[in-house]
């Protein structure tokens, strides 16, 4: 087939512009508006008629596979097609909500996308090849098929085999784009079908249960004089399980009953250093037994060193950066919510500074020129000297994680940018990406660990010390901490009288409310959403007023099975072998008392469900069947089926039919318990038990 004209379509205008700049020597910005003539070299930019963002760029380019061609580069703005039920189902009272499981869905170009579709069809008429430059992920593959279907309306040849190809790229650096242009591949129909099935299922299931829940609860919510927005109970197969995680943790916190425990603390001062030994038993819940053991220790008076062992130890450098890890670290270290971090990373990608930020891969291919990428970061920035040192001999190949999506490498910088040209928030995300990448290419931190065990009466106590010998990656990755914990010298068999022995009391503490990093990890482990959409689901349940987000107090100590114990009063302490009366002192303040006394606030968010959120989850729980809508099982199974479509193990039609039948069964079981949700709403939202 002779190819003379190529139509290239990117997913975003910024990507189209970058690709056109790399491929075209004399790029012309073309306007479809006759009042605005073409201007070369993009000194002035003209838009397509009807849309202020999408532009057309025309240039000549010589493709190895086709020869010299005339190229038009344009873009879409994400998805080109919309999906809605046919008009007769528009009214919420037009049918039982379950009818939407089977209702006909219309696929069309929405009015806001019509100028973009018309632009593609206009240029497709004279194109010999349609070259897709959408993002290389499932969503991008599906958008590519949407573009192909629109282009084929004016040029059927583009819909046939060989008429449409796609570029594989993970960043917009010049050499990478040229390589992609020279190696076209086919669209991945399996990935596109997976997204198509997800779109259809989300529409059918979401609309059916949203209408059912809203219509069922509307009489109750209306009596509460709630806002109209609060009366809409929006359901999503990812939103509800996410809400379920938050409510489950909230109820564990609220229903937690603290239990007292007792322990023995031992301190010895040697060579001017306080050495705090930990009891080998940690703690016991029987006070009398602890008191007896404590008395035996005091009776012995002296302690003897049983073991001194010094071994080399390492702190591993971090794994290459994935989307999920970027979001979690953005919350922990940068104080940004996961959606904001991903948006900023997307901007950095579109500007050409980092690789594609939506990836599950945490291992670099062996052929990647990592030293070349490091060398670019030696041009400036606070990490320039460190990058130079890596190039000159400190380089170590990154660790391999367990994940490889076969589409994109880990997130990494691809070009040097002067940080002053970025916004403040962009600088922070960019700095994290660069430091993480340099840390991955560094050596592990090295240290020497000393473990000491002593026998005091019948009881064993332990202490560990650390001396850092080589900081290595820690010098650039400022987000990790590994501190020296030097111990004075001890030798095996040494006998000494402990400076202080203390009987202490504590109590078990509840887990903390779910933080954003922990919630993301739970969603990922249970297949709720993708790395690129999990943040959106969190935002949705906040917008729906199912949960609230708040900054976590820095002093909160959650996630452990115990609180830090309180020492008993001075009368219970023993110094240099002198013993006194024992007594009990209870910890003052509740679990949030630190914040009440001015405890600092971190940037990490924690989530608290609203009364409506709790009511929705408890109502579904009270229906008594395991696969209710707030559990992750149905959505996780759906995601596994999406993967099976991608792998060619099943088909879109089969997955849609099987999944619809599962949700139809849930719908039928919900109808057998019509008053359970209403009872839960009255209980939590309005405080009425009956």
User: Are 243 and 374 members of one domain?
Assistant: no
Cβ atoms of 173 and 157 within 8 Å: the answer is no
For residues 28 and 40, is the Cβ–Cβ distance under 8 A? yes
The DSSP line for 479-527 is T-----B------TT-EE--SEEEEEEEE--PPPPPBHHHHHHHHHHTT
What's the pLDDT tens digit per position in 429-455?
A: 999 999 999 999 999 999 999 999 999
Question: pLDDT class for 556, splitting at 50, 70, 90?
Answer: low
Residue 140 lies in a domain: yes
Range of the domain at 286: 260-317+445-507
Q: What is the largest CA-CA distance in the chain?
A: 100
pLDDT at 564: 46
> Domain boundary residue among 441, 464, 483?
441
152 and 28 part of one domain: yes
590 found inside a domain: no
Kindly list the distances between the CA atom of residue 402 and the CA atoms of 112, 292, 323, 362, 441, in Å, as whole numbers in the listed order.
Answer: 42, 50, 14, 7, 17
593 in a structural domain: no
Residues 159 and 67 in one domain: yes
pLDDT of residue 452: 98
In terms of Cβ atoms closer than 10 Å to its own Cβ (0-12, 13-18, 19+), residue 380 is middle
The more confidently predicted of residues 591 and 334 is 334
- One domain, residues 124 and 50: yes
More confident residue, 407 or 204: 204
Report the alpha-carbon distance of residue 355 to residue 436 in Å, rounded.
13
pLDDT exceeds 80 at position 228? no
| Rounded mean pLDDT, 251-274 | 96
Q: Is residue 53 part of a domain?
A: yes
Q: Which two tokens stand for residue 210?
A: 């949203």
Residue 423 to residue 410: CA distance in whole angstroms: 24
Q: Are 347 and 427 in contact (CB under 8 A)?
A: no
* pLDDT at position 595 over 60: no
Domain boundary among 441, 466, 482: 441
- Please give the tally of structural domains in the chain: 4
The residue behind tokens 């959650």 is 558
| Mean pLDDT for the stretch of residues 676-686 | 89
Evaluate if residue 584 carries a pLDDT over 70: no
Q: How far lies 407's CA from each of 261, 326, 394, 677, in Å?
A: 52, 18, 29, 44
Tell me the pLDDT tens digit for each residue of 276-292: 999 999 999 999 999 99
In this prediction, residue 377 carries a pLDDT of 95
In a domain, 415, yes or no: yes
Q: For residue 290, what is the domain's CATH number?
A: 2.70.20.10
pLDDT tier, 582 (very low <50, low <70, confident <90, very high otherwise): very low
Backbone angles phi, psi at 560, to 5 degrees: -100, 165
Q: For the ranges 157-171, 234-248, 622-636, which has the lowest average pLDDT?
A: 622-636
Q: Which of 33-37, 47-51, 615-619 has the lowest mean pLDDT?
A: 33-37
| pLDDT in the model for residue 373 | 95
Q: Please tell me the predicted confidence (pLDDT) of residue 532.
A: 82
What's the CATH code of the domain at 38?
Answer: 3.40.50.140
| Dist. CA 427–CA 417, nearest whole Å | 10
C-beta separation of 457 from 279 below 8 A: no
> Tell me, what CATH number does 536's domain have?
1.10.460.10
Tell me the pLDDT of the chain averaged across its residues.
Answer: 88
Q: Residue 582 falls within a domain, yes or no?
A: no
Q: Read off the pLDDT band of 689 (50, 70, 90).
A: low
Q: What is the mean pLDDT of residues 609-625?
A: 92
Q: How confident is the model at residue 46 (pLDDT cuts 50, 70, 90)?
A: low
Contact 403, 359 (CB under 8 A): no
Residues 231 and 357 in one domain: no
411 with 366, same domain?
yes
Mark which of 387, 408, 441 sits at the end of a domain. 441
Residue tagged active-site, from 61, 356, 513, 546: 356
Confidence label for 570 from pLDDT (cuts 50, 70 and 90): very low
| 366 and 421 part of one domain | yes
Which helix or strand (DSSP H or E) is residue 635 part of?
helix 633-646
Shared domain check, 456 and 390: no
Residue 542 sits in the same domain as residue 655: yes
Does any domain span residue 368? yes
356 is catalytic: yes
Q: Does residue 152 share a domain with residue 28?
A: yes
Here the CATH number for the domain that contains residue 397 is 1.10.290.10
Residues 373 and 423 placed together within one structural domain of the fold: yes
Least confident of 44-58, 465-479, 633-647: 44-58
> Looking at the domain assignment, is residue 585 inside a domain?
no
One domain for residues 59 and 154 = yes
């Amino acid at each position: 087939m002779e190819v003379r004209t190529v139509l290239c379509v990117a997913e975003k205008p910024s990507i189209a512009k970058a690709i056109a700049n790399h491929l075209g020597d004399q790029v012309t910005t073309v306007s479809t508006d006759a009042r605005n003539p073409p201007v070369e070299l993009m000194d002035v930019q003209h838009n397509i008629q009807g849309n202020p963002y999408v532009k057309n760029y025309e240039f000549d380019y010589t493709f190895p596979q086709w020869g010299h061609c005339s190229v038009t580069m344009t873009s879409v703005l994400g998805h080109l097609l919309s999906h809605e039920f046919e008009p007769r189902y528009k009214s919420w009272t037009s049918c039982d909500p379950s009818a939407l499981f089977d209702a006909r869905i219309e696929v069309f170009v929405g009015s806001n996308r019509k100028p973009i579709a018309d632009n593609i069809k206009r240029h497709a008429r004279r194109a010999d090849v349609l070259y897709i430059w959408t993002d290389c992920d499932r969503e991008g593959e599906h958008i590519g098929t949407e573009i192909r279907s629109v282009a084929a309306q004016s040029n059927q040849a583009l819909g046939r085999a060989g008429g449409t190809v796609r570029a594989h790229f993970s960043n917009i650096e010049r050499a990478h784009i040229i390589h992609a242009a020279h190696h076209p591949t086919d669209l991945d129909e399996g990935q596109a079908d997976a997204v198509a099935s997800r779109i259809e299922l989300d529409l059918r299931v979401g609309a059916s249960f949203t209408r059912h829940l809203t219509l069922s609860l509307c009489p109750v919510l209306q009596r509460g004089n709630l806002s109209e927005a609060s009366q809409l109970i929006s359901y999503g197969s990812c939103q509800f399980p996410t809400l379920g995680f938050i409510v489950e943790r909230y109820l564990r916190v609220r229903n937690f009953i603290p239990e007292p425990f007792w322990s023995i603390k031992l301190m010895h001062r040697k060579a001017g250093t306080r050495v705090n030994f930990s009891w080998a038993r940690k703690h016991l819940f029987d006070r009398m037994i602890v008191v007896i053991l404590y008395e035996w220790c005091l009776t012995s008076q002296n302690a003897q060193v049983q073991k001194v062992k010094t071994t080399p130890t390492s702190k591993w450098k971090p794994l290459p950066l994935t989307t999920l890890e970027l979001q979690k670290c953005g919350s922990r270290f940068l104080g940004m919510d996961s959606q904001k971090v991903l948006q900023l990373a997307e901007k950095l990608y579109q500007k050409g500074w980092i690789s594609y930020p939506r990836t599950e891969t945490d291992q670099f291919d062996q052929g990647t020129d990592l030293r070349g990428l490091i060398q670019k970061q030696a041009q400036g920035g606070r990490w320039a000297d460190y990058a130079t040192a890596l190039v000159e001999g400190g380089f170590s190949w990154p660790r391999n994680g367990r994940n490889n999506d076969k589409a994109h490498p880990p997130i990494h910088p691809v070009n040097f940018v002067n940080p002053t040209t970025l916004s403040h928030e962009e600088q922070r995300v960019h700095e994290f990406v660069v430091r993480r990448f340099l840390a991955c290419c560094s050596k592990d931190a090295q240290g020497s660990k000393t473990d000491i065990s002593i026998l005091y009466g019948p009881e064993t106590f332990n202490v560990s010390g650390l001396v850092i010998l080589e900081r290595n990656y820690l010098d650039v990755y400022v987000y990790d901490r590994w501190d020296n914990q030097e111990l004075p010298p001890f030798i095996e068999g040494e006998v000494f009288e402990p400076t202080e022995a203390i009987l202490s009391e504590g109590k078990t503490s509840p887990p903390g409310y779910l933080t954003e990093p922990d919630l993301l990890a739970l969603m990922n482990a249970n297949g709720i959403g993708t790395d690129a959409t999990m943040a959106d689901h969190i935002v949705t349940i906040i917008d729906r007023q199912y949960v609230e987000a708040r900054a976590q107090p820095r002093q909160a100590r959650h996630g452990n099975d115990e609180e830090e114990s309180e020492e008993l009063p001075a009368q219970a302490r023993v110094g240099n072998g002198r013993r006194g009366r024992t007594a009990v002192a209870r910890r003052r303040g509740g679990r949030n008392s630190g914040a009440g006394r001015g405890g600092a606030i971190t940037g990490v968010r924690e989530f608290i469900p609203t009364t409506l959120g709790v009511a929705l989850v408890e109502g579904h729980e009270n229906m008594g069947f395991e696969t209710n809508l707030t559990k992750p099982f149905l959505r996780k199974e759906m995601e596994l089926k999406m993967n099976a479509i991608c792998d060619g193990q099943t088909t879109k039609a089969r997955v849609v039919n099987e999944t619809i039948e599962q949700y139809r069964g849930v719908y039928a079981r919900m109808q057998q318990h019509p008053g359970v949700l209403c009872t839960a709403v009255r209980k939590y939202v309005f405080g009425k038990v009956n």
